[in-house]
Structure 1
Amino acid sequence: MMGGNRVREECITMHQPWASLLVHGIKRVEGRSWPAPLRGRLWIHAASKVPDSATIKAMEDFYREIYAIHGITDLKFPDRYPVSRLLGCVEVVRLEALTDFCWLCEQPQRLFIPLEMRGYQGVYPLDKKMVEAAIRGLALVQCPQAVKFPLPDAHDPFSLKPGSISLKYPEYKASKVELSSSLIAVIVGATAAATQFSKKNQTHQATQPM
């Protein structure tokens, strides 16, 4: 976002393990209960709640199944899921076409050393000093499979709204059934993750440090 001639860096706080999965390029779609307030770089901060092992295993198993659809079986998950840390950033490119508020994310970058900080509700501006320190420690992430979210296509019902999911490999364009099944699975995961940000939870979390 712009304020005069100054670029404001935006950040969002997410629970683990979703925060690290997004920064590591495994999770590509972030489900929310509101539309993306920006397009461009979005910093990812991990909330203070320590994830339990069952949740981590469930999400890792979920993404193993998603990538197995396309023959990828050697996913490298994060070694750890730190909390109360700035983890890195992604580029929010647009909203997914088939749902209300699924943010499509590309170009993940992670910090070699996550930076300790407190998070806040919603999308909030990142402190200038924190931005300067974070930029120096960023590294591009090698995603398990290159994905490019295309521009809307008026002849494609999957992209009547800005954005749709499509792999940039020609062989996947031949079968809309296969594409639809993987797309729906990703949407289901993103929507499920979004439930953590329901109004009920937001009211509870507003009184808790992040």
Structure 2
Amino acid sequence: MGSKGRSDVVNYRNPCLTMHQPWASLLVHGIKRVEGRSWPAPIRGRLWIHAASKIPEPATIKAMEDFYREIYAVNGITDIKFPEHYPVSRLIGCVEVVGCITREELGCWEEVPEAVRLEGQTDFCWLCEQPQKLIIPFEMRGFQGVYNLERKIYESATRGLSPVRAPCPVKFPLPDPQDPLSLKPGSLVSSLNASGTSKLERSESVNAAIAGARAAATQFSKGQSFQPPPTGGVDKPISSRTRNRSTEG
């Protein structure tokens, strides 16, 4: 099992992270490039993604899809293909964790697209590349923190991976190209301070989408249903396809 208090890199065998939907599928489909946590990433390299058992509510799915529509539009990307299904209690794919930095560092990092910088909404930002999805998701039980996949599941899963065509793939530049572990909390602070880079200026619609995404995320810590806040310009009707997702497992 992983330890949330560790900030160094641990030698996991086949690390896996259980995530709630819709965040899990958004990450595996390459729409989500940054996984936010209150603790630093304890690994680099392949991270398997397992979807937790809670069926996502239609309002939660809508809030997160609206969030990604808005932040991608900042970089002129308007054609985003969201997952048709948000399966639960399944191993659904993997990503490559190439680094972990703080929210402040990501927000001021001009070398990455503005949409990626807007994804940073938590203390620590796990930077993810090369998403792959399982053609047939594996039913399995998840655990807290980062943990190792069972060997049999790992061996079967590696044979069932398929590359994903992400709407805007990102290659995060390493501070030290010779050191694959150089992208860590504090690694960008000195260069950002020297450049005097200011924080992002956000439009009203982006701020509304961020507020909706934050509200959707806090439902799990409060143990209550999600009621999206008034959004002004981003409140759209929920399609029948989106409503039906809430009953799919």
TM-score (norm 1): 0.73
Matched residue type, 1:34: W
Alignment partners' CA distance in 2, 1:120 and 1:37: 16
Confirm or deny that 1:12 pairs with 2:17.
yes
Partner of 2:89: 84
Aligned-partner Cα distance in 1 for 2:201–2:16: 31
Superposed, 1:42-191 pairs within 5 Å as 42-97=47-102, 98=104, 100-152=123-175, 161-162=186-187, 180-181=200-201
Distance change in 2, residues 1:126/1:47 (3 Å): same
Taking a change above 3 Å as real, the CA distance of residues 41 and 195 of structure 1, as seen in their structure-2 partners, is: farther
Instruction: Give the AA of the match of 1:23.
Output: V
1:28 maps to a residue whose letter is R
Distance 1:58 1:197, change over 3 A: closer
Corresponding pairs, count: 175
Q: Distance in 2 between matches of 1:101 and 1:31?
A: 6
> Does the 8 Å contact 1:88/1:114 carry over to 2?
yes
How has the CA–CA distance of structure 1 residues 106 and 141 changed in structure 2, closer, same or farther, with 3 Å as cutoff? same
Which range moved further: 54-63 or 88-97?
A: 88-97
The one-letter code matched in structure 2 to 1:107 is Q
**Would you say the 8 A contact 1:152–1:161 is kept in 2?**
no
Q: Distance in 2 between matches of 1:196 and 1:37?
A: 25
| Unpaired stretches in structure 2, ≥5 consecutive residues | 1-9, 106-122, 177-183, 190-196, 224-249
1:96 is paired with a residue whose SS is strand
Question: Would the alpha carbon gap of residues 104 and 181 (structure 1) be closer, same or farther in structure 2, given more than 3 Å must change?
Answer: farther
Q: Please list the CA deviations of residues 58-93 of structure 1 after superposition, one character each: whole Å capped at 9, or x if unmatched.
A: 100110001111111110000010000000000111
AA of the residue aligned to 2:139: E
Q: Which runs of 5+ in 1 are unaligned?
A: 154-158, 165-175, 202-210
Aligned CA RMSD, in angstroms, stands at 2.9
Q: Distance in 1 between matches of 2:28 and 2:82?
A: 11
Judged with a 3 Å threshold, the aligned counterparts in structure 2 of structure 1 residues 122 and 73 are, in CA distance, closer, same or farther, namely: same
Cα 1:163/1:122, change in 2 over 3 Å: farther
